């Protein structure tokens, strides 16, 4: 069966207290290789990207105690933070979501790797924080 949409899973975002500690597991025990590390100042996080087939795992460490990731870990502990999908036309997807009443958490803006992204609130997605990224 072929999907009619052009969406693909880009990455799974995992909130961690420490990138270095998390990488001990992902690199040394599972054999992943870190492909990218950067700080995203506007989100107050450091990230490490680990290729996983055609997708990636994004490890997220807070750089400030008031960041979304720090608050997430304080409330829920380390774990799955969001699912990110690549979309062929982010602007059209955002327009469609807004028209249909979805709750968006930000306007499209550049993030890790310079890609445009927007977050969709879990109340609109069945309980999962969804990140949409321009393909």
* Tokens found for residue 69: 């990731």
Q: Residue 115 sits in which domain range?
A: 8-134
Q: What is the CATH number of the domain that holds 35?
A: 3.10.180.10
Q: What is the pTM of this model?
A: 0.92
Q: What integer pLDDT is reported at residue 133 of this predicted model?
A: 97
Instruction: Tell me whether residue 2 is exposed, middle or buried, using C-beta atoms within 10 angstroms of its C-beta: 0 to 12, 13 to 18, 19 or more.
Output: exposed
pLDDT band at 1; cut points 50, 70, 90: very low
Instruction: Tell me whether residue 112 is exposed, middle or buried, using C-beta atoms within 10 angstroms of its C-beta: 0 to 12, 13 to 18, 19 or more.
Output: buried
Mean pLDDT of the chain: 95
Number of structural domains, the chain? Answer: 1
Does 3 reside within a domain? no
Does 21 reside within a domain? yes
**CA 26, 28, 29: angle at the middle one, nearest 5?**
70
Does 47 reside within a domain? yes
Does 54 reside within a domain? yes
Residue 71 phi, psi (nearest 5): -65, -40
- Choice among 3-17, 53-67, 70-84, 103-117 with the minimum mean pLDDT: 3-17
Q: How far is CA 13 from the centre of its chain?
A: 4
Whether 44 contacts 68, CB under 8 Å: yes
Residue 4 has pLDDT above 80, yes or no: no
* Tokens found for residue 43: 């989100």
Residue 88 has pLDDT above 60, yes or no: yes
């Amino acid at each position: 069966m072929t999907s009619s949409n052009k969406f693909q899973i880009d990455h799974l975002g995992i909130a961690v207290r420490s990138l270095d500690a998390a990488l001990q597991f992902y690199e040394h025990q599972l054999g992943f290789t870190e492909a990218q590390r950067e700080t995203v100042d506007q989100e107050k996080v450091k990230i490490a990207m680990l290729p996983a087939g055609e997708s990636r795992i994004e490890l997220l460490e807070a750089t400030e105690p008031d960041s979304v990731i720090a608050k997430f870990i304080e409330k829920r502990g380390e774990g799955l933070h969001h699912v990110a999908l690549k979309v062929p036309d982010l602007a059209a997807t955002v327009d469609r979501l807004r028209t249909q009443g979805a709750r968006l958490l930000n306007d499209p803006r550049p993030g890790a790797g310079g890609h445009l992204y927007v977050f969709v609130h879990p109340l609109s997605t069945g309980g999962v924080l969804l990140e949409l990224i321009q393909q």
